[in-house]
Amino acid sequence: MNRKILRLAIPNIISNLSVPLLGAVDTALIGHLNEVYFLGAIAVGGMIFNFIFWGFGFLRMGTTGITAQAFGEENKTESVMTLSRALCVAGVFSLLILLLQALIVDLGFLLIDTSPEVERYTRIYFNIRIYTAPATLGLYAINGWFLGMQNARYPMIVTVALNALNIILDIFFIYSLNMNVDGVAWGTLIARYFGIVLAAGLLWYKYRDWISEYVHEELLELEPLKRFFSVNRDIFLRTLCLIFTFSFFTAKSATFGDVILAANTILLQLWMIVSYGIDGFAFAAESLIGRYTGSREHKKVKEAVKYCLVWGMGIGITASTVYWLFDVSILKLFTDQQPVITAALLVFGWTIAGPAVSSFCYIWDGIFIGATATVPMRNSMLFATAMVFLPVYFIAVPYLGNHAIWLAMTTFMIARGVALSAYAPKYILNASLTK
């Protein structure tokens, strides 16, 4: 089982880590420019795009779980139709995003209180990057399908290639053309469309025979559509809660001033770097749990759950140790502005604790997605957001200031892990016996 997990997890870790690596490079490039509000613009712009794009993360997660179960059942037609439905949904929502872009950015600034400089440069960033929508949502669907097919190698190739190109373009635009946030946005736009073309080419190269199983009449069949939207509805609501917490985090950080916003942005990048590493094993869990659920091998379901949790928690504890040992050196990679470093060090203890305490819930997410047990995922996230994250912040902020938002985020992660652990016997460990 360990070999199967690592075969899926290692490519996922490589591809996943390239995502926060790109974010870290963007943060470092912008963080070394003369004005701190450039970094604030990237943070706020990223928050707005998290609202837009993370909300459609179900196109990857739901597609992976349903496809993996079809793969376990050896149902080629259903596998291909799942991809087709996901791509259709991606196309429709991409069009809506582009049509509503002016409303989206204006609404963003109604909810976020920023300095005039941050708002100005955020709008520049937004007006370019918004046109990545079709490529971004299409990649969610295709990469999710690859993972459901037990193929972690192709998403790795696509993600690493597009992020490597993105980094090269960012460096070129900023250092050779003297651009700032607009250079980062153009780099993202060009790289995303390169990525979708590469993914489509790999899909055709490897899976031509599977694509021939496409049956147009089944695209809008009621029962598969109901299942597709039911699974994805719950994942969407779960993801909205996650987006809300991270966006709330950024918005409240902005109220403490541009220096605190910049410091918290860097520290949140460190949380994200580790989360993407742990998600390598979460993605492996999605693929394996889905496959074994589809083939009704309940003993292997339990085995995969155990080993994925051990691997994920091991990475979390290791990352916490690294952050504890190299705090100042890590911060200096992101910025040379001493006020930002000083502000970050005041709350760095939360970043040390973050990977260890959050690893549990990341792996459980992958397990529940693979089993398409999305109702408990949704419920646990609603509980952690409404009953833990928000109350902790509002109770603590008058006394703890910036520490309050970090306390809220940490307890939010713990609550998710505890809630999913409580749901697991019914929905995962014992449910597989009846499937």
Domains of the chain, by residue range, sit at 2-434
Of the listed ranges 194-208, 268-282, 338-352, 365-379, the least confidently predicted one is 268-282
**AA letter at 308:** C
For residue range 303-335, list pLDDT tens digits in order.
989 999 999 999 999 999 999 999 888 888 877
Using 50, 70 and 90 to split pLDDT, how confident is the model at 19? low
Residue 148 neighbours by CB under 8 Å, 6+ apart: 63, 64, 65, 66, 67, 68, 70, 71, 79, 82, 286, 287, 290
Q: What local confidence, expressed as pLDDT, does residue 34 receive? A: 65
Give the highest mean pLDDT range of 30-34, 123-127, 202-206. Answer: 202-206
In this predicted structure, the answer to whether residue 229 has a pLDDT above a threshold of 90 is no
Instruction: State mean pLDDT over 240-263.
Output: 86
The per-residue pLDDT of the chain, averaged, comes to 86
Q: What local confidence, expressed as pLDDT, does residue 435 receive? A: 45
Rounded CA-CA distance 191/164 in Å is: 9
Using 50, 70 and 90 to split pLDDT, how confident is the model at 93? very high
Rounded CA-CA distance 42/31 in Å is: 10
Rounded CA-CA distance 425/103 in Å is: 44
Of the listed ranges 20-29, 69-78, 79-88, 136-145, the least confidently predicted one is 20-29
154 vs 46, which has greater pLDDT? 154
Q: What local confidence, expressed as pLDDT, does residue 32 receive? A: 67
Instruction: State mean pLDDT over 78-96.
Output: 91
CB-based contact 1:300 (threshold 8 Å): yes
Using 50, 70 and 90 to split pLDDT, how confident is the model at 399? very high
Of the listed ranges 42-51, 262-271, 286-295, the least confidently predicted one is 42-51
Distances from the Cα of 90 to the Cαs of 4, 84, 93, 104, 433, in angstroms? 31, 10, 5, 18, 34
CB-based contact 89:235 (threshold 8 Å): no
Q: What local confidence, expressed as pLDDT, does residue 77 receive? A: 86
CB-based contact 195:18 (threshold 8 Å): no
Give the highest mean pLDDT range of 45-54, 144-153, 331-340. Answer: 144-153
Give the highest mean pLDDT range of 2-11, 284-293, 319-328, 331-340. Answer: 319-328
In this predicted structure, the answer to whether residue 274 has a pLDDT above a threshold of 70 is yes
Give the highest mean pLDDT range of 48-57, 156-165, 333-342. Answer: 156-165
Rounded CA-CA distance 134/94 in Å is: 5
In this predicted structure, the answer to whether residue 434 has a pLDDT above a threshold of 50 is no
**AA letter at 344:** A
Q: What local confidence, expressed as pLDDT, does residue 90 receive? A: 92
- Using H for helix, E for strand and C for coil, what is the string for the chain? CHHHHHHHHHHHHHHHHHHHHHHHHHHHHHHCCCCHHHHHHHHHHHHHHHHHHHHHCHHHHHHHHHHHHHHHCCCHHHHHHHHHHHHHHHHHHHHHHHHCHHHHHHHHHHHCCCCHHHHHHHHHHHHHHHHHHHHHHHHHHHHHHHHHCCCCHHHHHHHHHHHHHHHHHHHHHHHHCCCCHHHHHHHHHHHHHHHHHHHHHHHHHHHHHHHCCCCHHHCCCHHHHHHHHHHHHHHHHHHHHHHHHHHHHHHHHHCCCHHHHHHHHHHHHHHHHHHHHHHHHHHHHHHHHHHHHHCCCHHHHHHHHHHHHHHHHHHHHHHHHHHHHCHHHHHHHHCCCHHHHHHHHHCHHHHHHHHHHHHHHHHHHHHHHHCCCHHHHHHHHHHHHHHHHHHHHHHHHHHHCHHHHHHHHHHHHHHHHHHHHHHHHHHHHCHHHHC
Maximum separation of any 2 CA atoms in the chain, in Å: 62
Instruction: State mean pLDDT over 145-163.
Output: 90
Buried b (16+ CB within 10 A) or exposed e, 42-75: bbbbbbbbbbbbebbbbbbbbbbbbbbbbbbeeb
In this predicted structure, the answer to whether residue 350 has a pLDDT above a threshold of 80 is yes
Using 50, 70 and 90 to split pLDDT, how confident is the model at 22? low
Which residue carries 């299942």 as its tokens? 227
In this predicted structure, the answer to whether residue 222 has a pLDDT above a threshold of 80 is no
Rounded CA-CA distance 210/196 in Å is: 19
